Each structure stands twice: as C-alpha cells, then as structure tokens.
C-alpha cells in the first residue's frame, strides 16, 4: 500500500552544460545535450521512493517517446504509475542550462502537465494514503482539489509552491507544511526576502493567512522553520556543488520520508537538508537524487553546525 501520493508534473529535461548563461541575443557553446527524467512531481516521487517509502504518482504524459521514457523511469524507481494518464498532448519538457557554478536556468513547456484536471484527481482513492505531495507545475484547480480531498480523507499535505505565483488563502490553509525557497516566499508574499530576519517575517505573513507550518529552504544556508510556536534555523551540510537542479525536490522527498517516521520537525528538516545537499553533488535531476543508505552514511560521517532556536 503506497504511503505517499504525489499529484504533479512529469517532464523530460533537456539539459546542456555551459560555462555561463547566455546574454539576450548571444549564442554560446555548450556540452552535449542530455535527456534526463524530471518534473517537480516526478522528482519528488522518485526522491521519496529512494528513501524506501511506497509512492504513487498521479499526472499526465504524452503518447510520445518522452512519455514512455518517463513511465519506464518511474517503474525502475518503484513508483506506482497506475494513476498517470497518457494524453494526446506532448509530454512536458524543461530546457535547462547549467553553468560552471552548478546554478541552473530553466524554461518549462507544460505539455500534458497542463491537461491534468479535477476529474483526474477524483479518480484516486485518497484514503489509501498517509501523505500528499503537491507542487505548482500543473494547473492550480486540480492542486486545490487534491488538497481538499486530502483534508477530507485525513491526509497530511505538503505543498511546494513552485513555480511560485499568488495562491488562494484556502490552498495555503489546506497545506500542513508549506515549503517554499526564498524566491518563492518573496513572490508568494510580495515581501523582500534577503536575510534571516526578512525570511522570518515573510514566513510569518503566510501564517497570518492560514499556513500551519512554513519551512523555507535556503540553499547553502539550510532551512528556516517558522510556526506559531517556534522559529528555528537548521544548518545544512557543506558539499562541492556540481548542479543544483532538483536539490529542492530532494529536500521534499527526504522531508516526506522522514516525516512518516514520526521524527521531530527539526530532525525531519535536517534529513531533508542532507538529501538536498547530496543532490547538488551530482549532475541532472533524478540521477542526482540520493538513496536512503547514501543519506544515512553521509549523515553519520558529516555534521552540520546544528540548529538555532531564533524565537519561540
């Protein structure tokens, strides 16, 4: 029986390494094109499955070769794909340029991801699951429908608001854990986010409109937990960064898997940080997602600076 239901996107990532991002109107040379499984929904599904949780995914892919490629990849990662439909639209794609510092620039083409509907969501039996993972690479109405269904069925909901845009107060309040990065937090709230204090205040703005728990991922600065009872900064791990693609998705998958083990929120976030840090040490989206034994070994050998309770 699957523990986690992921409702979200599946993309074929078309990835090119380049020394830097091109300027407008400029052509630069890059390395060979790679086609890599991606999409925030599929990334998070695979990330959680590699932590040895049972995962099912709901979404859409095209009837093209990319669709078959993505479904086969989910199968090889032991993610149940029975709730994924084939569509006459093209499979979603992402054009990704990775620079010499491992930073990425991404352009999405939604394709079949844009065809996910409320009816797709209503085809699933939510009572079969314990946890729902959501992102925003599919239309917002089925995301909201999934959150409502989960709430009615007693599932905990993790919402990663990416790509960020304004959300209804209802959707924000239906998420048990809202997990944006700093850029997404700023776009959600309309507030500047440029240091620890501004991050805390922007997260508090989400609490004021109904968010229950806000976890802000901050890259090399770790993560900030902001709830009505605590504000705690969790340090992350220092690694040699190769490619930041899917690091946030690795964090979400690790967070979800650790959450199901009844760990403290600080432990859950620290485990997510370890997964995210490890993902940056490898190239590509899903190929970079670490497995459980790799994370456990990494955490046993490496130490963070710990956590700091900023206020309570």
Per-residue model confidence (pLDDT) at position 279: 95
Please report whether residue 142 resides in a domain. yes
What is the per-residue pLDDT across 109-159, written as a single tens digit (0 to 9) for each? Answer: 999 999 999 999 999 999 999 999 999 999 999 999 999 999 999 999 999
Catalytic residue among 13, 87, 249, 262: 249
Average of per-residue pLDDT across 217-229: 95
Rg (CA), the chain: 18
Q: Tokens 């990334």 map to which residue?
A: 43
- Residue 304 in this model has a pLDDT that exceeds 80: no
What pLDDT is attached to residue 312?
A: 42
Distance CA 68, CA 63 (A): 7
| Residue 270 domain flag | yes
Query: Which DSSP state fits 308?
Result: E
Residue 146, in any domain of the structure:
yes
In this predicted structure, the answer to whether residue 303 has a pLDDT above a threshold of 80 is no
φ, ψ dihedrals at 211, nearest 5°? -60, 140
What CA–CA distance (Å, rounded) separates 289 from 250?
A: 6
pLDDT(308) > 90: no
Angle at 21 between CA 104 and CA 36, to 5 degrees: 40
Looking at residues 167-190, what average pLDDT do you find?
96
DSSP letter (8 states) at residue 42? H
Q: How confident is the model at residue 245 (pLDDT cuts 50, 70, 90)?
A: confident
Q: In the chain, what percentage of residues exceed pLDDT 90?
A: 85
Range(s) of the domain holding residue 247:
4-9+39-86+113-311
Q: Is residue 51 part of a domain?
A: yes
Q: Judge whether 92 lies within some domain.
A: no
Residue 170 has pLDDT above 80, yes or no: yes
Confidence of residue 284 (pLDDT cuts 50, 70, 90): confident
Give the residue with greater pLDDT, 12 vs 165.
12
Q: Is the pLDDT of residue 309 over 80?
A: no
Q: Is residue 24 part of a domain?
A: no
Dump pLDDT digits (tens) for 22-42: 999 999 999 999 999 999 999
Report the helix count and the strand count for the chain, using DSSP H and E: 10, 14
CATH number of the domain enclosing 288: 3.40.1190.20
pLDDT tens-digit readout, 38-86: 999 999 999 999 999 999 999 999 999 999 999 999 999 999 999 999 9
Residue 258 placed within a domain: yes
Is residue 176 annotated as part of the catalytic site, yes or no?
no
Position 106 pLDDT exceeds 90 = no
- Domain total in the chain: 1
- pLDDT, tens only, 187-220: 999 999 999 999 999 999 999 999 999 999 999 9
219 in a domain, yes or no?
Answer: yes
Residue 305: predicted pLDDT: 54
């Amino acid at each position: 029986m699957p523990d986690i239901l992921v409702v979200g996107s599946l993309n074929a990532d078309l990835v090119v390494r380049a020394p830097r991002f091109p300027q407008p109107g400029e052509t630069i040379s890059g390395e060979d094109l790679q086609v890599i499984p991606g999409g925030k929904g599929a990334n998070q599904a695979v990330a959680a499955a590699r932590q040895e949780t049972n995962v099912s995914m709901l979404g859409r892919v095209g009837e093209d070769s990319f669709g078959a490629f993505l479904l086969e990849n989910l199968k090889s990662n032991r993610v149940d794909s029975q709730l994924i439909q084939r569509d006459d639209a093209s499979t979603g794609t992402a054009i990704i340029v990775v620079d010499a510092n491992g930073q990425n620039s991404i352009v999405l083409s939604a394709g079949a991801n844009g065809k996910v509907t409320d009816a797709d969501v209503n085809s699933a039996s939510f009572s079969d699951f314990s946890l729902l993972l959501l992102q925003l690479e599919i239309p917002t109405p089925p995301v909201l429908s999934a959150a409502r269904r989960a709430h009615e069925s007693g599932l905990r909901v993790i919402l990663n608001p990416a790509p960020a845009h304004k959300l209804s107060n209802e959707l924000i309040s239906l998420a048990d854990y809202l997990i944006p990065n700093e850029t997404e937090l700023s776009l959600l709230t309309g507030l500047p986010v440029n240091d620890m204090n501004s991050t805390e205040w922007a997260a508090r703005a989400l609490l004021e409109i109904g968010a229950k728990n806000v976890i802000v991922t901050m890259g090399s600065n770790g993560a900030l937990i902001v709830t009505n009872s605590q504000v705690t900064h969790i340090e992350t791990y220092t690694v040699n960064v190769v490619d930041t693609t899917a690091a946030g998705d690795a964090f979400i998958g690790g967070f979800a898997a650790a959450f199901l083990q009844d760990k403290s929120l600080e432990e859950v976030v620290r485990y997510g940080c370890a997964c995210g840090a490890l993902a940056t040490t490898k190239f590509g989206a899903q190929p970079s997602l670490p497995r459980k034994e790799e994370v456990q070994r990494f955490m046993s050998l490496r130490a963070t600076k710990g956590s700091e309770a900023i206020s309570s």
